[in-house]
Structures are given as C-alpha cells and as structure tokens.
Structure 1
Amino acid sequence: MVGDHMKFTIPCQSFLDTSFFQELARLKLEVLKLDSSRKELTSRIDIKHIPKGSSCAHLFLSNESFGDEPQSGTGLPVKGSLYNYNTIEDFKKVDKASLLNQRAQEAWKESQDDPNNCVRFFVISFADLKSYKFFHWVCVPCFQLESLNLKVTASGTLTDFDKYDSWFDTYPECWSCLEDSDGGLRNFSKDEVTDCATLIVRDTSTIKMVPSALVKNFVSLFKLFVPKLDSIRLILVRSDASSSFWMEVKLCTDREISASALKVSGWERNSQNKLTPRATDLSTLLDPLQVADQSLDLNLKLMKWRIAPELDLDVIKNTSVLLLGAGTLGCYVGRALLAWGVREITFVDNGRVSYSNPVRQPLFVFDSCGKPKAATAAESLRKIFPLVKTRGVDLQVPMIGHPVMNETKEQRDFETLHELVRSHDVIFLLMDSRETRWLPTVLGCAENKIVINAALGFDSYVVMRHGAYSEQEENRHGCYFCQDVVAPSDSLADRTLDQMCTVTRPGVALMAASQSVELLVSLLQHQDRNTNEVSTKTILGDLPHQVRGFLSEFKTLQLRSPAFKQCSACSSSVVEAFRAHGWDFVAAALNNYKYVEDLSGLTNVQAKAEDALKDIFEDWDEELDEDLLV
C-alpha cells in the first residue's frame, strides 16, 4: 500500500432495533404528525467491542436514540438527525446528493470549532403505519477537501499503543488528539496544531492497515488548520495493539485549498451492496397483540391530530363501562365502545342466546345459541380485540313491582349489581323493560355515576344521559323516569308474543347504540366529565341531554327535561332512602311499587290530578240541550 493513494473502508454499519421503529411510529402519531422537518437523534459507536467478522464498528439505533442525551451503553457519542416523510413518494423524491452535501457542510463547519463534530449521521425514513413497513436510509457523511490527495509513504504496526489508549480512556468522548514534537498528547483544535505533525484518530475499521473513511474528515480538518503542511503522521487506534497502526501520509494539493470545496460520500449500501434504501417489515416480528393495540390507536390518533387536536383519548381509554343488557343494544354499544378505544367493558344479562338473536345482535353467531348472553358477548369482544378487559356476569337485575320470591338469591344479585355499579365509571341501561332500569338508575344516582340510557320503539328511539346527582335538584337533568307520574311496575305478566320481544325496525337499534356511545364520548370530553349545563359544547360539538329519533320521518330532536322532584328513581327522597336502608329499601320497592310512589310524593301528585279532574266536572253544571247531544 506504500506509495499508493490512501484507501478507506465504510465508516460503520447501522443496525436499527425494532424499538427504534416502534418509537418512530409513536412519535409520528403523537408528536410529528405531518411535520417532516429535521429531528435530532443520538447514538454511540463502540470501537472496542466490534463483533467478530464485521469489517467496521456498528451504529446502533433504538428507542433511546430519540432522547436528548446519548443512549446508554459504551462507545463514543454521536449526534444525528431524522427526516421522516409523510408519503413514500416524498421519500423517493428526496435529492439524496443535495441533502448529503448540506449535512456534510454543516458537520465541516461545526468541526472547525470542535473536531468531534466530524462524525455525524442522519436518517431519512417513511413509516407505513397501516402495514408496519418502514423504509429508511442511513448516511454517515465522509468528506475530503476537493484539492487534497492523500498518498501513503510508509506504514507499520503501532508499538506504543498503551500511551494513546490511556489518553482516550481519560477522554472517552474524543475521537482524535494531537502529538507534539516532544511526544505529549493534546486535544485536537485549531489552536493546538501549530507545532504538531501527528494526528491520532480512533478508527472504526477492522480491515488490516485500511482505515475508516471517517479519517478523511479529520485529515482534511488538519490540512485546513495548517495549509502549508505537506505530510502528516497518522496513528489509527483500534481495540488492541495488534490491529492499531501508523501511516506516513503525503498531503498533495493541486491548487489552493478552498474551505468549502469538499468531495462527499456516505450513503450506506444495502445487504446486496447497492446504494438503495432498506425496508423493514415489522408485521411478522411484532407481537400480534401489540400490532392490534397500535392499530386500534392508529385510527383514533389520526382523528386526533388531523381533525380534533384537543381530543382527550386517554380519558376514553381509561373509562370502565358497565353494560346492563347484552341484547341488540348491548352488542352494538359494545362494538362502538371498542372502536373508541374503551378497554374495560362488563356485560350483565341473565338470558341465553336464542335462534332469533344472531341476525340482530352482532356479537353472536349461530353456534352461540343456547349459551349465556353476557359471557358470550364478552368472549366475542376478546376475539375481536384480545387486549380488551371484558367479562360477562349472569345476573337477574331485581325489578321494582316484582315481589321477592327468593330473598337470599335476590339480595345476592342486588349486592353484586351494587358492587358492579360502584366499580365502573359509566353505566349503560340497555334492558328490555322499564322496571329493570329502575334499580340501576337509583344506584347510579347513589354512587354519582355517569348513566346513559337507550330505549327503542318500533321506529323511534330515545338516548339520554341522566343528570349528575351531585347537583341541586332544580339544576339537574332528568332521568328516564322523570316524565312518569307512576312508579314502574310489573309489565311482563300476561304479555303476548309481540310484547315479549322487542319489535323494532332493524336500523333503530344501531342508531340508538351509536348515538348513546357518541353522547358518552362527548360527555367525557367535558372538563367535569359530567355536567348539567344546558347549552354546553365540547371539542366534538353539542352535548345534549337527550336525543329522540324518528325513523319514519328520518329526523332527530335534541330535548332537555329537568329533574322531577317527585321522580320515582332520582328524587332525593328515593336516593337518600336507599343510601340509608340499602337492601331493605329495595326489597320494599320490589314487593310493592306503591311504597316508592308514597316515598317520592307521586301518590300526592296522583291525588291532586284526580281532584283537579273532579273539579272540572263539578264546574260543568249547565244542562245541555238533548237535541245537541243527539
């Protein structure tokens, strides 16, 4: 090699860990969004622990590379940059030569103040987050003064390795140093090169007597500092004495040195030794559950940063929901909650899947027939998204006006239901009968929970949120029972076939279920998470008290009804009686719904209504002409 032009190997080999791409995906969704401007990276190049068989040191990038500080581990810290593009077309259109020259010039200028800046890297990338494919290309700029030619005049194995190795151990973040005429070692800088003709560089190459191309950066910088220098002693320090070596290099110039004229290289070749980007497909490497988790978040986060930046997805994700009823409404509500990212859903039902259910209830199939509805619905949700925390509870909800037949069992059911309400943030009332909804309404008030109610008619539906019980009665929204002047009672006895089944147009349940979930999500975006304000709005728009839909006219109405002071479910007299007496209060209501009417004041309301009706007829004392009656 003596007398020949100096040869170089590639500076390093990049390795991008799976965690790098996972963090890139997270940043793309949550931070970068459509921003393709430069982002800073950090890494380390470990020269002392190069894997056997490798021709150079490794540039290792992981999730830690996105931090401000160099990632943990041994080796020399290296600063870098990331350019992540929004489309594969943008990635392909990048002017690679221009970008490389820009970054090389930047490193060249910065290294004149600190020679350690001679070593830099940058990455261009495109992240296809739908298929989990990542396209990337790593570049480590290596540059040489355009007018400078390097010729090796002598070389040999390094004998005083320990001297230089000890200095680098003392200065572990330095890539180079100088040796003066007396043999002393100094930091490499413009002020220190005056009486130095020896440059010591830490070499990333493992090929015998062939240094890394990064050495060109330091030699060019030395020549810039001492333009009249025509030769230099170059010492390449590697992991041990046997591989380290020295060179006498002649610095030939064919014209005056220009500080800005550089010959630049640095784009990394792929495994086929071609100058092309690399593609990494993580879909086969990632845990399928993790892919599902990130894919669910993908749609929601795209919605957040492209349409509604203030949308709080975490409050939705961390909300636990209790679905009372696993029929048509329960199934559709469960699916809609899952789509919004809710991760904890509990079904309560005491029925079994019948042969008429699967066509209307999307969490059931033909093979589900005969199985418990609640448990089967929960199992279906797990099949759709395995990371959802869901379970089914087979439970008969105690119903007002249905006398207690087995007190031990019904009290146990009551206690289970009470605990379920207490342990969840939101309660959905999705049952078939009015009396089934009464006790959960009382429990929701007593525990001050968000209660969402959806009920169906043949071609109409109502979706409403019960008022927050913590507010004063006169300021509170009404509940499902606030329009009634009688307490709910047994409506299940002696029912015909059409009365035993929910007879509705098939689309009504979908509309009611979707609007009830959207109402909840909007409510969760309110700063109080629950409010009785009349005309309030959230980031998602209106926040109505109730929505009534009429499919026959294809229209919906937003309505508000205030809390009824004599309501059989949410009035203070009923709720406070429950808080005071618990099961005894519930048992009394089950045995006789009139007990609740007396307690709430509905009995007096009914009596006043009857008295008013009597007064009307008593005042009507004129005799009518019999001919007029005919």
Structure 2
Amino acid sequence: MDGDSTLEPRQRDRYSRQLLIEGIDPADQRTLLSSCVLVVGVGGLGSSIIQYLAAAGVGTIGIVDDGRVKRSNLQRQVVHTVDDIGDPKVDSAARFVDALNPAIDIETHETRIEPSSAEALLEGHDVVVDALDNFVGRFVVNDAAVLAGIPFVHGAVYGFEGQTTVFRPDGPCYRCLLPEPPGEEGIPSDEPMGVFPTAPGTIGCLQATEVLKLLLGIGEPLEGHLLRYDGTDATFLRTPLKRDPDCPLCGPNGPEIESLETVAYDDRCRIERSASTE
C-alpha cells in the first residue's frame, strides 16, 4: 500500500519535515493524528508542551487548568498574550492552538486536578503530562495514571533548573522518586518563585519529545531515568530511577486499589490508608 495515500495533501505538506525522518512514515503521522494527550497545567511548561504537540499533529489535546492569565505569566508562558490577560488559561491556550493548527481538537477543563476528578479527566487518553507547579497535584496525577495504566510524563522547573522523566505502568512511579511532599522547609512558599524564562521551554520541549516517542513507539523513553538540567552551565545529568519496594502505590507490598475514591490522603496528599478490594 502506498503510505502517502493515508494522508491528505495538506497533511503531507504540513508534516513533511518529520515525514522525511527515517523511521517516521505517513502511518506514524496517522497514529499521531488519532492520539489523545492530556496536559495538566497551562503555565510555562504547558505552553511549550501544548504548542509542540499541536505542531506535530497530535489529534486531540486535553488541557486542565483553573487559572487565569496574569501579566506576570507572559515572561515564560508563551501561548498567552497581553490580550488574554484575565481570561481562563485553557481558553487562551485553545485559541493559540486553533491559530497554529486548526485541525487539532482541544478539550478544555477549567478546573483544578483533584482526587475526585482525576480519573475521569484521564479516561480515554494515551498519555498524561505533568505541567504543574505543585507537589500535591503531581501526586494526584501520578496516582490516577498508575490506576489507569497510562504513561505519565513528569516535568518541573525552579530558577535555572529543571527535570523530567517518564513513568509507565510497569516501572517506577512518581512516589518512587518522591515518597511524599517535602517538609515545609523544602516547599516554596505561596510567594511567587523565581523561574528563568527559558527553563520551562527547555523542559517542556523535552517532555513533548518524550510524549511523541511514546505515541510513536520510537527511541528509548526516559523511563527509569531522571534527567536534570542546569541552565547556568548548560549541563544535563541523567540518573537511574528504580521502583521503590516500599512505595505505597506501586510497590509489591502496596495495597490493591481500584479507584482513587478508595484512597485516603492526608492534607498533603500522602497516602494514609486505602480500602483493599474484596
């Protein structure tokens, strides 16, 4: 079968540069066009992730954020503009994607990720991406992804630095990397934290790359490794990450959990106990 026949002429033109890469053919592009990715957070990381997934032709992108665009966001959150100030971030991001690639379907969820809603938000997606700026939200996304059997691409930035990795159902999860939220001395206060403008772009691009690799089944995903970036000296450090046998969620001695509704969290999203299946 002639692979080009699987794409329309405009699609072959739009995605022609990636189709010239050895190992990526029109059938792979059709895979991207039929894929569905959920991006949780539409700030600095989310801006970079969303625009490159849309540019690459990921057919459906769900975006979750309960925030509104502020002037201080514009220094790094590049899908938003001055005209968007005051608008919901999900609406601003949807307009950006529509202008970049009108063929992409955007599903907007103007809400905060919570244990009560996470499983429903993740349902039907091939990959979920962490573009959050808080630990509690990451734990909720991680837990829902583990229970749903969905790959989870993590990313975080602070100052000049950032990190990213991939969690898959048969590997370590976020709680293996960070068993519980840091103590109060290790958590940034409610005051705005410093972020170098390009740091989220760097990490977000890496996250988008990992998402595309997962969807296409190419290369070696970052599963089992944490990639740290320091913009001050342009260095990357790749360290192994193994499953924690004492992990309360994915460890071999962990409880059997069918739904987040059976998980009891404390006020910082640590698992206190869970209802085992009968």
TM-score by length of structure 1 reads 0.39
User: 2:249, 2:184 → 1: CA distance?
Assistant: 17
Q: Secondary structure at the match of 1:501?
A: coil
Superposition deviation, residue 560 in structure 1: 2.6
Match status 1:447 vs 2:148? yes
Give the aligned residue type for 1:465.
Answer: V
Matching residue of 1:589 = 265
Find 1:394's aligned residue among 110, 133, 140.
Answer: 110
Unaligned runs of 5+ in 2: none
Q: 8 Å contact 2:84–2:92 — kept in the other structure? A: yes
Q: 8 Å contact 1:568–1:597 — kept in the other structure? A: no
Q: 8 Å contact 1:454–1:464 — kept in the other structure? A: yes
Matching residue of 1:618 = none
Give the aligned residue type for 1:524.
Answer: L
Give the aligned residue type for 2:102.
Answer: P
Give the aligned residue type for 1:317.
Answer: L
User: 1:391, 1:481 → 2: CA distance?
Assistant: 28
> Equivalent pairs: percent with the same residue?
19
User: 2:199, 2:141 → 1: CA distance?
Assistant: 24
Matching residue of 2:232 = 552
Q: 8 Å contact 1:484–1:567 — kept in the other structure? A: no
Encode CA deviations 1:220-279: one digit per residue, 9 max, x unaligned.
Answer: xxxxxxxxxxxxxxxxxxxxxxxxxxxxxxxxxxxxxxxxxxxxxxxxxxxxxxxxxxxx
Matching residue of 1:303 = 18
Give the aligned residue type for 1:522.
Answer: K
- The CA RMSD over aligned residues, in Å, is 2.9
More strand by share: 1
Encode CA deviations 1:381-420: one digit per residue, 9 max, x unaligned.
Answer: 1122222100221112237xxxxxxxxxxxxxx23x3112
Q: Secondary structure at the match of 2:237?
A: strand
User: 1:391, 1:593 → 2: CA distance?
Assistant: 27
Q: Secondary structure at the match of 1:481?
A: helix
Matching residue of 1:521 = 212
Match status 1:382 vs 2:98? yes
Match status 1:457 vs 2:158? yes
TM alignment of 1:471-486, pairs within 5 A? 471=170, 476=171, 478-485=172-179
Encode CA deviations 1:559-601: one digit per residue, 9 max, x unaligned.
Answer: 3311112224443565733x1x64242xx2044756x2566xx
Change (3 A) 1:592 1:358: closer
Unaligned runs of 5+ in 1: 1-26, 32-289, 400-413, 527-537, 600-630
Match status 1:323 vs 2:3? no
Change (3 A) 1:584 1:569: closer
Find 1:359's aligned residue among 71, 75, 96.
Answer: 75
Superposition deviation, residue 448 in structure 1: 0.4
Change (3 A) 1:394 1:308: same
User: 1:575, 1:451 → 2: CA distance?
Assistant: 21
Higher relative contact order (CA 8 A, sep 6+): 2
User: 1:336, 1:454 → 2: CA distance?
Assistant: 15
Change (3 A) 1:593 1:316: closer
Q: 8 Å contact 1:375–1:391 — kept in the other structure? A: no
Give the aligned residue type for 2:238.
Answer: Q
Matching residue of 1:342 = 58
Matching residue of 2:126 = 425
Change (3 A) 1:593 1:436: closer
Give the aligned residue type for 2:85.
Answer: C
User: 1:301, 1:364 → 2: CA distance?
Assistant: 28
User: 2:269, 2:62 → 1: CA distance?
Assistant: 29
Q: 8 Å contact 2:54–2:100 — kept in the other structure? A: no
Q: Secondary structure at the match of 1:316?
A: helix
Matching residue of 1:30 = 4
Q: Secondary structure at the match of 1:321?
A: strand
Superposition deviation, residue 301 in structure 1: 3.2
Larger Rg: 1
Matching residue of 1:561 = 241
User: 2:212, 2:240 → 1: CA distance?
Assistant: 19
Q: 8 Å contact 1:398–1:436 — kept in the other structure? A: yes
Q: 8 Å contact 1:30–1:301 — kept in the other structure? A: no
Superposition deviation, residue 542 in structure 1: 4.1
User: 1:395, 1:573 → 2: CA distance?
Assistant: 34
Q: 8 Å contact 1:432–1:502 — kept in the other structure? A: no
User: 1:592, 1:511 → 2: CA distance?
Assistant: 29
Q: Matched residue pairs, number? A: 267
Matching residue of 1:504 = 195
Matching residue of 1:112 = none
TM-score by length of structure 2 reads 0.84
